[in-house]
């Protein structure tokens, strides 16, 4: 599934990002999935795919040592809708307690107070 993250079709890439996260539901392959999703974020030209990549990265089960790096990466994509959702899913995990970071919290608060319409978050 990871190979489909580079497909020429944006719809396939979005579906692949979701499938990569879903494939780790048993806890296997999480590190490889996180690495692939975050690597693709750096080169993805389509905003909707970037959003799905960010959301999927946040959905992955995280170890405490991985939380801060993922949170910082997703916070850099705010106010992208998928980044907001990814940070939400990440912050709900037990491993994320006290590890998301104050800078990420401030950036989320800034987005929450400046976005005036749902369409502003893409």
Sign of CA dihedral 57, 28, 32, 16: negative
**Gap between the Cα atoms of 102 and 14, Å rounded:** 30
At 97 the pLDDT is: 82
Q: Is the pLDDT of residue 120 over 60?
A: no
Element (H, E) at 87: helix 81-91
Instruction: List, for residues 34-89, the tens digit of each pLDDT value.
Output: 999 999 999 999 999 999 999 999 999 999 999 999 999 999 998 898 999 999 89
**Gap between the Cα atoms of 38 and 21, Å rounded:** 12
Is the distance from CB of 79 to CB of 44 less than 8 angstroms? no
Instruction: List, for residues 97-107, the tens digit of each pLDDT value.
Output: 888 877 788 88
């Amino acid at each position: 599934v990871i190979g489909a993250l580079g497909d020429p079709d944006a719809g396939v890439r979005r579906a692949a990002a979701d499938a990569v996260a879903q494939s780790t539901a048993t806890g296997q392959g999480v590190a490889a999935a996180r690495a692939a999703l975050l690597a693709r974020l750096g080169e993805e030209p389509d905003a909707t795919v970037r959003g799905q990549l960010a959301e999927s990265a946040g959905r992955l089960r995280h170890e405490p040592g991985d939380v801060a790096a993922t949170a910082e990466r997703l916070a850099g994509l705010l106010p992208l809708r998928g980044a907001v959702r990814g940070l939400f899913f990440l912050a709900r995990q037990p491993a994320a307690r006290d590890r998301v970071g104050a800078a990420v919290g401030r950036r989320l608060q800034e987005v929450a107070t400046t976005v005036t319409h749902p369409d502003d978050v893409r």
